[in-house]
Amino acid sequence: MAMAEEAKQQEPVTIKKYANRRLYNTGTSTYVTLEDLAAMVKNGEDFVVYDAKTGEDITRSVLAQIIFEQENKEGQSLLPIAFLRQLIRFYGDSMQMLVPRYLEQSIDTFTKEQGKFRAQMAQAFGAGAFGPLEDQVRRNMEMFEKTFAMFVPFARGQGKNETEKPSGAEIDELKQKLDEMQKRLDRLGNKD
């Protein structure tokens, strides 16, 4: 019975696409979205998509649609413009037959080398592969703490007791400092 369970686990989940463009997961008996299917792919779950009316396998077009949606999300694109243009040029070309196999081998090699790459990054940048990024986050947190400290200067023993109200000049100074911090944050955000 264990072999039957293993075989069942390895069978791809069947997704049916209806005329109203809704996707139905026959494994869970629920309607799903393209986001749900993207999450399944990321979790290593295999599925096939069939047109509910014709029975045609439309997995490729659904996967391409998921990629299209991911590429259109801000900051999510993986495919450089030059790559997309070159890929379009291969359609109808005599090399078209070789491109899918080459891309499969390339992504497979990249996936296998991913562990080595992460180890090399960790070695190059210290404890974490993202050491410089972590330093930037730490500096940003220090800046935020300083900013928030401006809103409670009187509780930090700067010469006023807690019941004394700040003067108009002090409020103006705080507003000016807040504006400066906002400009710095905007500049930092624009660098990324």
Q: Within this chain, do residues 162 and 175 fall inside the same structural domain, yes or no? A: yes
For residues 70 and 84, membership in a common domain is answered with no
176 and 153 in a single domain? The answer is yes
Let me know whether 38 and 17 are in one domain.
Answer: yes
CA–CA distance from 38 to each of 28, 74, 75, 143 (Å)?
16, 16, 17, 37
Q: What is the pLDDT of residue 155?
A: 45
Q: Counting Cβ atoms within 10 Å, is residue 42 exposed (0-12), middle (13-18) or buried (19+)?
A: exposed
Same-domain status, 47 and 57:
yes
Q: Within this chain, do residues 167 and 118 fall inside the same structural domain, yes or no?
A: no
Q: Which domain covers residue 91, as residue numbers?
A: 80-129
Same domain? For 53 and 93 the reply is: no
Asked if residue 159 has pLDDT above 80, the reply is: no
- The pLDDT assigned to 114 comes to 81
Do 12 and 30 have their domain in common? yes
Same domain, 135 and 124: no
Instruction: Answer yes or no: do 18 and 72 share one domain.
Output: yes
Domains contained in the chain, number = 3
Average pLDDT, the chain: 78
Number of H helices, E strands in the chain: 7, 4
Tell me the mean pLDDT in the region 8-14.
79
- Whether 51 and 58 have beta carbons less than 8 Å apart is answered as yes
Cα distances (angstroms) measured from residue 64 to each of 38, 67, 70, 125 = 11, 5, 10, 36
- Judge if 22 and 71 occupy the same domain: yes
8/80: higher pLDDT: 80
- Among 12-26, 71-85, 93-107, 136-150, the minimum mean pLDDT is found in 136-150
Higher-pLDDT residue of 110 and 31 is 31
pLDDT in tens, 83-118: 899 989 999 988 888 989 998 998 888 888 887 777
Domain-embedded: residue 1 = no
pLDDT at position 145 is: 61
Give the mean pLDDT of 108-132: 71
pTM, to two decimals: 0.55
pLDDT tens-digit profile of 166-184? Answer: 567 777 777 787 777 777 7
Extract the tokens encoding 6: 């293993």
Let me know whether 98 and 108 are in one domain.
yes
